[in-house]
Amino acid sequence: MAEVRSAKPSVNEASFTGRFFRVTRVSPLAVLSVLLAISLGMMSAATQNSALFGDLYSLLLVLNILGVVLLLTLILLSVSKLVRQFRARVMGSRLTLRLFGLFVLLSVVPVAVVYLFSVQAFNRGIDNWFDVRIEQALDSALALGRTALDTTKEDLTRKARDMAAELDNSTRGLLPTLNALREQHGVFELTLFNQDGKVVSSSTQGAVRGKSVIPDRPGETVFTQARRGEVYAGIEPLGDSGLQLRVLVPVIPRSVGAPMRVLQVLEPLPERYARLGQNVQAAFAEYEKLFYLRGPLKFGFTLTLSLVALSTLLLAVWAAIYAARKLVTPIRDLAEGTRAVARGDYSQQLPVPVGDELGILVQSFNVMTRRIRRAQGEITRGQREAEIQRTYLETVLTHLSSGVLSFDPRGHLRTHNAAAHQILGVDLLSGEGKTLARLVEMHPGLAPFGVALRELLRKAQTEWQAEITLPGGAGRRVLMVRGTRLPGLHGRTGGHVVVFDDITALIQAQRDAAWGEVARRLAHEIKNPLTPIQLSAERIRHKCMDGLPERERATLDRATHTIVQQVEAMKAMVNAFSEYARPAQLHIQSVNLNQLVQDVVELYKGRTNPVRYQLNLDAALPVLQADPGQLRQVLHNLLLNATDALAATDNPTMEIATRTVDEPHGRFVELYVRDNGPGFAPSVLDHLFEPYVTTKDKGTGLGLAIVKKVVEEHNGTLWAGTLKDGGAAFTIRLPADVARAALARGKNA
Amino acid sequence: MHIRPLGAVLLALALLPAPRADAANFSVKAAEAYLNDRVLHVNARFDLPVNPRIVEALSKGIPIDVVIDVNMAKHRWWWRNRVITDHVLHRRIQFHALSRQYLVSGLRENDPSESFGSLSQALEHAGTLDEFEIILTAKKEIEADARYLLVLRARLDIEALPMLMRPLAYATPSWRRSTGWTEWPIEQVQP
């Protein structure tokens, strides 16, 4: 619980921090923009002579320049980051830079054009304010005012000189003289200074009316000038709107050695004059000031305008960077996501930007990757299942005793199993993907099978069954072949699967079993009446012999003898049959086949036999594990058979050979018996090893059947054929391997 | 060598030729002060030379303000001097076109302006402190054995210029006129 409680605030904290960063990522720009806009507005107001911001002008200027510099720095940092990303080939940086360039171009060009035209228009406008004629008029007005004032001034100077002369000549007291002079000349104030600048006496208009007025003192420079004996006459501004004339004249004493004094005359200009004069002065001063300030005015306005334009530009540039980044982010995400998908990483889920087509695109991408991922999972699962299925099928096919071949619709071999390879005795692996015709070319031994199968496939029945007989070195073989057409896509034929079994042994076994049964029944049915027949014949002879005359006796004796003899022969024959039909009783031991051959042949040589025996025995023949008695029987039967066949042949010859044969599936000992007799008729050849097949007048017809039976009981094979130059040939192949022998032994046991 | 853009700009600015002052700057010709019964008496003469730019502005009716800072400070050898009192005088020189007089205001209290026939006279008067008195309030402690200094400065007040001229004035050295802070001993007159 404690953990849960402690985890909660951190989640809130994280979300708060995230929100804060999201907000502050935009806000520096916004805050700076607003501040800059306000500052620029205030500066603009100041430029337009606003009293409110006029005092802050310098500060505002500095602030704005700082703002612009800050903005510029931030933008430079952003641009350098962009360039670095571009150089590092960061995904999306190229597009960002391109968009940024486009935005900048779109914003810079209009602003620059407006700025240049504004500056030009503004400068021309300011120049147009100032008219030469107005300037001349003001100059003239000023000159006129000055002339008028100068006239008044000269007038007052003359009066002052007169007064100074009169003052010097006066015999009255100073003050009355001054008062009289002032009233006489109608001036405002008269003041007499001594050489040190101290007031000797003064008369003012107001003082007469009973007011005490401190006399107006001249400036030090002015007084010094008067003290030097020069006349000073000047017009002085009086307060805000008045003007007064000040004249200082030296009062030079007539008596030598008397101190020089200075008389100051003050006369304010009449109010109307003064006002007019001040108006002219004010207008002139204002115009001059304006004219003088037109340079700074242009500069100030240009500066403000430049700052505004620059700020606008920089803000636009920043906005361009921001917009380009904002636009490119989902595109970059998409590009990276697509690249990941191309690499096979389907786990990509991109952050979805809100509310525009890009958002829909990103959402679709996310849905797509999710679906692909799901489909991918299903495919993998399906593949795994198919693999399991295939392995299962392969295992089944491999362990199937039937040969299985499958062909595609164009007749190319697609699959085969081990049994097919074993039954057909050819390497089918190299034949995969090849047609039947090509397979036959590669393995000529396969020709009968290939031709027959091609014919069967050509008929293209859905299901078919056929027997194919293969002649071969190892004897005739019969294959039971079943074919099925495979289902194809879109209703087309999907090839064939062919399953076949070597049923030679089966057929043979069936035949053998049938013959065994026949022999057994025959022996049973025939043997039973034979003994009564023999006994009856002997009784007849015994009873009737003595009572018959000599001639009849001899006849009876001959007849009964014949019956008994024929019955004996029949008995022997029946016994042979039952022997054939009886299950084998093998007595396995090590047998030297060469020795056995030599022993048997020796027996035949001993007789008065015209046949020449030619032995080609392999000295390195391995020792066989077999029943020597049975093998001896086989040799006897073969030699007897050949000897009988050679009865009508001139220069009869028989060849008996042994050799070792190494086959892929084992080692074999081969016995080969050949004669130069008439050979076999083709009709006989098919049933050569069946009982009762004989071309001879005598014999049981079981000789070769027994040979075959013994060979098969020893797990061997045998086949017979007619040679090209006539004569018959028998080949018996017995397994030489100990394992085979042991197997055979176990089976027999 | 790789030079960053900002560095290159700074380097270029540093290598620009420094602007040359076109006339001598304001200076203090002479100053003396004495403290008598908590009244500081100051006499000072400032040399306020002007260059053609300022003369032209004056002739075009632009008033020029000279600000005189009169400070009294207690000398401290171990730290910055402590300002006891500071006083600011504003003197404005203006051309009156009609009368062709230069008016100087702020010379005396209650006197709006004084007119002079020439600019040099006007400047001379503007730069003169004649028995200027500063009465120290009771709060300010004066130590008899401490060393006190008169700290003076006269400068052209750019902020008093018409607003439009200020950026240019700040940017051009012709307008940056100042004596800088100067220190003068204060004599204490024992009562």
Amino acid making up residue A444: P
Residues of A in contact with B57 (CB under 8 A): 292
pLDDT value of residue A584: 65
pLDDT top residue among A60 and B67: B67
Q: Which 3 state secondary structure label does DSSP give B190?
A: coil
Nearest chain B residue to A144, by CA: B98
Distance of CA A356 to the CA centre of its chain: 27
Residues of A in contact with B125 (CB under 8 A): 219
pLDDT value of residue A739: 44
Q: In sequence order, which residues have a C-beta less than 8 Å from that of residue A408 and are 6 or more positions away?
A: A414, A495
B166 vs chain A: nearest CA distance in angstroms? 7
> Does B99 sit within 8 Å of A235, measured CB to CB?
yes
Per the CB < 8 A criterion, the answer to whether A471 and A456 are in contact is no
Instruction: Give the long-range contacts of residues A462-467, CB within 8 A, separation 24 or more.
Output: A467/A503
Find out if CATH 3.30.470.20 is the number for domain A400-502: no
**DSSP per-residue letters across A133-148:** HHHHHHHHHHHHHHHH
Nearest chain A residue to B58, by CA: A289
Q: In sequence order, which residues have a C-beta less than 8 Å from that of residue A635 and are 6 or more positions away?
A: A596, A597, A600
pLDDT top residue among A571 and A742: A571
Specify the DSSP class assigned to residue A412. Answer: B
Phi, psi for residue A325 in degrees, rounded to 5: -65, -45
pLDDT top residue among A230 and A582: A230
Banded model confidence at residue A472, pLDDT cuts 50, 70, 90: low
Using one digit for the tens of pLDDT, what is the confidence trace for A334-356?
Answer: 888 888 888 888 887 888 877 77
Banded model confidence at residue B67, pLDDT cuts 50, 70, 90: very high
Q: How many beta carbons lie within 10 A of that of residue A426, not counting itself?
A: 17
Distance CA A272, CA A142 (A): 16
Of A47, A281, A297, the CB nearest to B97: A281
Per the CB < 8 A criterion, the answer to whether A689 and A721 are in contact is no
Find out if CATH 3.30.565.10 is the number for domain A589-748: yes
The full length of chain B comes to 191
Fold that domain B25-189 belongs to in CATH = Immunoglobulin-like (2.60.40)
Banded model confidence at residue A239, pLDDT cuts 50, 70, 90: low
Using one digit for the tens of pLDDT, what is the confidence trace for A252-271?
Answer: 887 777 788 888 998 888 88
Helix (H) or strand (E) holding A506: helix A504-544
- Parallel/antiparallel/unpaired status of strands A413-416 and A403-407: antiparallel
What's the rounded mean pLDDT across residues A286-311? 83
Per the CB < 8 A criterion, the answer to whether B75 and B151 are in contact is no
A42 vs chain B: nearest CA distance in angstroms? 13
The owner of tokens 């786990």 is A347
Residues of A in contact with B165 (CB under 8 A): 293, 296
Residues on A contacting B at a C-beta cutoff of 8 Å = 46-47, 49, 54-55, 57-58, 61, 73, 76, 142, 145-146, 149, 219, 221-222, 234-237, 239-240, 243, 277-278, 280-281, 284-286, 288-289, 291-293, 295-297, 299-300, 303
Helices (H) and strands (E) in chain A, counts: 20, 17
**A210-219, A259-268, A584-593, A621-630, range with the lowest pLDDT:** A210-219
Q: How many beta carbons lie within 10 A of that of residue A516, not counting itself?
A: 18
pLDDT value of residue A606: 65
Residue A603 has pLDDT above 80, yes or no: yes
Give, rounded to a whole angstrom, the gap between the first and last alpha carbons of chain B.
Answer: 73
**A1-15, A424-438, A563-577, B124-138, range with the lowest pLDDT:** A1-15
Of B113, B117, B167, the CB nearest to A234: B117
What's the rounded mean pLDDT across residues A305-312? 84
Of A76, A142, A219, the CB nearest to B98: A142
Banded model confidence at residue A128, pLDDT cuts 50, 70, 90: confident
What's the rounded mean pLDDT across residues A708-726? 83
Q: Which 3 state secondary structure label does DSSP give B49?
A: coil
Residue A719 has pLDDT above 90, yes or no: no
Q: In sequence order, which residues have a C-beta less than 8 Å from that of residue A286 and are 6 or more positions away?
A: B61
Domains A147-269 and A589-748 share a fold: no
> Does B101 sit within 8 Å of A234, measured CB to CB?
yes
Residues of B in contact with A47 (CB under 8 A): 163-164
Nearest chain B residue to A73, by CA: B6
Please state, in angstroms and as integers, the Cα–Cα distance from residue A346 to each residue in A80, A145, A336, A337, A362, following that order.
34, 96, 12, 9, 14
B165 CB within 8 Å of a chain A CB: yes
Percent of all residues in chain A with a pLDDT value above 70, rounded to a whole number: 88
- Strand locations in A449-556 (E): 463-470, 477-487, 493-502
Please classify residue A12 by burial: count the beta carbons closer than 10 Å to its beta carbon, then call 0-12 exposed, 13-18 middle and 19+ buried. exposed
What's the rounded mean pLDDT across residues A413-433? 84
| CB-defined contacts A:B, below 8 A | 98
pLDDT value of residue A612: 86
Give, rounded to a whole angstrom, the gap between the first and last alpha carbons of chain A.
Answer: 81
pLDDT value of residue A741: 47
pLDDT value of residue A705: 82
What's the rounded mean pLDDT across residues A127-144? 85
Q: How many beta carbons lie within 10 A of that of residue A146, not counting itself?
A: 19
Nearest chain A residue to B113, by CA: A239
Residue B109 has pLDDT above 50, yes or no: yes
**What's the CA dihedral at A279, A285, A288, A289 to 10 degrees?**
-130
Of B97, B158, B164, the CB nearest to A285: B97
What's the rounded mean pLDDT across residues A65-85? 87
> Does B103 sit within 8 Å of A237, measured CB to CB?
yes
Mean of pLDDT over chain A:
81
Domain ranges of chain A: 19-129+289-341, 147-269, 400-502, 508-581, 589-748
pLDDT top residue among A50 and A465: A465
What's the rounded mean pLDDT across residues A698-705? 73
Most confident range (mean pLDDT) of A114-118, A587-591, A734-738, B165-169 is A114-118
Banded model confidence at residue B44, pLDDT cuts 50, 70, 90: very high
Residue A402 has pLDDT above 60, yes or no: yes
Distance CA A730, CA A626 (A): 19
Helix (H) or strand (E) holding A59: helix A57-87
Is the entire prediction scored with pTM above 0.80?
A: no
Residue B70 has pLDDT above 90, yes or no: yes
What's the rounded mean pLDDT across residues B60-73? 92
pLDDT value of residue A10: 41
What's the rounded mean pLDDT across residues A634-648? 85
Query: What's chain B's Rg over C-alpha atoms?
Result: 20
- Strand locations in A595-649 (E): 612-616, 624-626
Percent of all residues in chain A with a pLDDT value above 90, rounded to a whole number: 4
Give, in words, the CATH class of A147-269: alpha beta
Distance CA A408, CA A497 (A): 9
pLDDT value of residue A443: 82
Q: In sequence order, which residues have a C-beta less than 8 Å from that of residue B73 and are 6 or more positions away?
A: B81, B82, B83, B84, B148, B149, B151, B183
pLDDT value of residue A295: 82
**What's the CA dihedral at A662, A404, A400, A382 to 10 degrees?**
130
The owner of tokens 């499958």 is A406
What's the rounded mean pLDDT across residues A157-166? 88
What's the rounded mean pLDDT across residues A731-735? 87
Residues of A in contact with B164 (CB under 8 A): 47, 293, 296-297, 299-300
The owner of tokens 């090839």 is A495
A293 vs chain B: nearest CA distance in angstroms? 7
Residues of B in contact with A289 (CB under 8 A): 60-62, 162
Q: Which of residues 32-91 of B touch A (CB under 8 A)?
A: 56-57, 60-62
Mean of pLDDT over chain B:
83
Using one digit for the tens of pLDDT, what is the confidence trace for A510-563?
Answer: 877 887 787 778 777 888 888 888 888 888 888 887 888 888 888 888 888 888
